[in-house]
């Protein structure tokens, strides 16, 4: 099998604010195999600058290595790519795409257009007026689960926004999630958790920075609001280390971003180990284009996990691939009657 790779810079339709700054663009890398669009197999390596463990100077060199060594067995390639989880996933995706038809990687009622999946509506960081506008847009679009990024502006302002939402929509009608991206100190996190409990918030992702196992374990042991580990999973490669971390922290949930943790293989391992400590999980994208989002959504359906996922990022970019995916009334669906259009990628 011959493989080539292609780099494409995605442009956000509007700035995406996180606790680490504002995103304007995102580089995406695609693995390609085949001749012509009809026979093309494609996989996306979902690198996210500043967050992916494989955001390294030798990233493109490793892509070159893969194209020259595609004759090796899948086991050999996965072993060599262990420290490059996004390339692992891109390769895994490519193999599935080659074996499938019309970019259906996991045939199911979802890909046949017979079933949809609930997702959360994502509210990006910004000033309170901007965040309030996003909240109103998501509610008008029919979302029943809102996820709000917190930690960039004063917590008092963010709490006021959450209070505003909850004063209009009770917990039985609207599920609220927050994602701190490690923004708080352990002491501040304790106070934040207590305040979130007053608003019946469903969960908080990564309240403190990753790597503070003892502090995170203490928070998880007493928290009035379930804690979900996100960045904590990044860069933990061996099964033994994964088990050690989960048993030390004992989180209520883990968040699976396949591009960050070694694709479907890595995600499956995390799911199995999370069950050992009684932790739940849900799946979310890592700002991939519609190529990666399609692969994650199709796989997520096969898990039959009732917890709404975070797969509503397909509309973030002005130059995204056109795919059969769509979002309607707070759910993601797949329209098999719609065609793919890779023109924005230049091939």
pLDDT for 234: 97
Distance of alpha carbon 242 from alpha carbon 237, whole angstroms? 7
Distance of alpha carbon 94 from alpha carbon 102, whole angstroms? 13
Q: Which two tokens stand for residue 12?
A: 């956000």
Domain edges within the chain: 4-99, 117-345
Q: Would the CA dihedral through 48, 50, 56, 57 be positive or negative?
A: positive
Please choose, from the candidates 217, 140, 218, 138, the residue with its C-alpha nearest in 3D space to the C-alpha of residue 176: 138
Q: What torsion, rounded to 10 degrees, do the Cα atoms 219, 222, 227, 232 define?
A: 30
Phi then psi for residue 244, to 5 deg, are: -60, -45
Residues 6+ apart with CB under 8 A from 221: 250
Give the CB-side neighbour count of residue 296, counting CA atoms within 13 A.
36
Q: Which two tokens stand for residue 98?
A: 């080659």
In whole angstroms, how large is the CA radius of gyration of the chain? Answer: 20
Q: Tens of pLDDT along the chain (347 residues)? A: 789 999 999 999 877 766 567 788 999 999 999 755 556 799 999 999 888 999 999 999 999 999 999 999 989 999 999 999 999 999 999 999 999 999 999 999 999 999 999 999 988 777 778 878 888 888 889 999 999 888 877 899 889 989 988 988 899 889 999 999 899 999 999 999 999 999 999 999 999 999 999 999 999 999 999 999 999 999 999 999 999 999 999 999 999 999 999 999 999 999 999 999 999 999 999 999 999 999 999 999 999 999 999 998 778 899 999 999 999 999 999 999 999 999 998 87
CATH architecture assignment, domain 117-345 = Alpha-Beta Barrel (3.20)
Helix boundaries (H) for the chain:
36-39, 59-68, 74-80, 85-99, 128-140, 155-168, 186-198, 213-222, 239-249, 258-261, 263-276, 290-303
pLDDT for 306: 95
Please choose, from the candidates 246, 270, 269, 209, the residue with its C-alpha nearest in 3D space to the C-alpha of residue 51: 209
pLDDT for 185: 96
Q: CB count, 10 Å around CB of 76?
A: 11
Q: Which CATH number fits domain 4-99: 3.40.605.10, 3.30.70.20, 3.30.390.10, 3.30.360.10?
A: 3.30.390.10
**Beta carbons of 29 and 336 less than 8 angstroms apart:** no
Distance of alpha carbon 276 from alpha carbon 245, whole angstroms? 12
Give catalytic residues, as residue numbers. Answer: 149, 257
pLDDT for 127: 78
pLDDT for 315: 84
Decide: pTM greater than 0.85. Answer: yes
Length of the chain: 347
**Beta carbons of 26 and 44 less than 8 angstroms apart:** no
Instruction: Report the relative pairing of strands 227-229 and 203-205 from DSSP bridges.
Output: parallel
pLDDT for 321: 94
For every residue of 58-112, DSSP letters joined together read: THHHHHHHHHHSTTS-HHHHHHHTTT-HHHHHHHHHHHHHHHSBTTBSS-STTTT
């Amino acid at each position: 099998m011959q493989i080539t790779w292609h780099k494409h810079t995605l442009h956000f339709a509007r700035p995406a604010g996180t606790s680490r700054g504002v995103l304007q663009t995102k580089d995406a890398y695609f693995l390609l195999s085949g001749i012509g669009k009809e026979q093309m197999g494609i996989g996306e390596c979902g690198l996210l600058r500043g967050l992916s463990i494989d955001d390294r100077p030798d990233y493109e060199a490793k892509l070159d290595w893969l194209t020259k060594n595609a004759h090796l067995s899948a086991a050999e390639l996965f072993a060599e790519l262990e420290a490059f989880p996004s390339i692992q996933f891109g390769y895994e995706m490519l193999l599935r795409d080659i074996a499938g038809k019309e970019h259906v990687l996991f045939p199911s009622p979802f890909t046949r257009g017979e079933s949809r999946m609930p997702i959360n509506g994502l509210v990006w960081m910004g000033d309170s007026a901007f965040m309030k506008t996003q909240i109103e847009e998501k509610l008008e679009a029919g979302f029943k689960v809102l996820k709000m990024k917190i930690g960039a502006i004063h917590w008092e302002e963010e709490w006021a926004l959450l209070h505003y939402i909850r004063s209009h929509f009770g917990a039985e009608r609207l599920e609220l999630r927050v994602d701190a991206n490690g923004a708080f100190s352990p002491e501040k996190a304790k106070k934040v958790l207590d305040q979130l409990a007053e608003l019946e918030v469903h969960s908080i992702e990564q309240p403190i920075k990753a790597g503070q196992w003892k502090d995170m374990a203490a928070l998880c042991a007493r928290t009035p609001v379930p804690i979900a580990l996100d960045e904590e999973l990044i860069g933990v490669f061996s099964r033994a280390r994964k088990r050690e971390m989960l048993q030390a922290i004992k989180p209520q949930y883990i968040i699976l971003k396949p591009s960050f943790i070694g694709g479907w293989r890595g995600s499956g391992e995390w799911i199995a180990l999370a069950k050992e400590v009684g932790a739940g999980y849900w799946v979310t994208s890592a700002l991939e284009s519609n190529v990666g989002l399609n692969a994650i959504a199709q796989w997520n359906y096969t898990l039959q996990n009732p917890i709404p996922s975070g797969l509503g990022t397909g509309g973030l970019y002005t130059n995204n691939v056109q795919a059969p995916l769509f979002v309607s009334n707070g759910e993601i669906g797949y329209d098999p009657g719609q065609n793919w259009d890779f023109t924005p990628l230049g091939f």
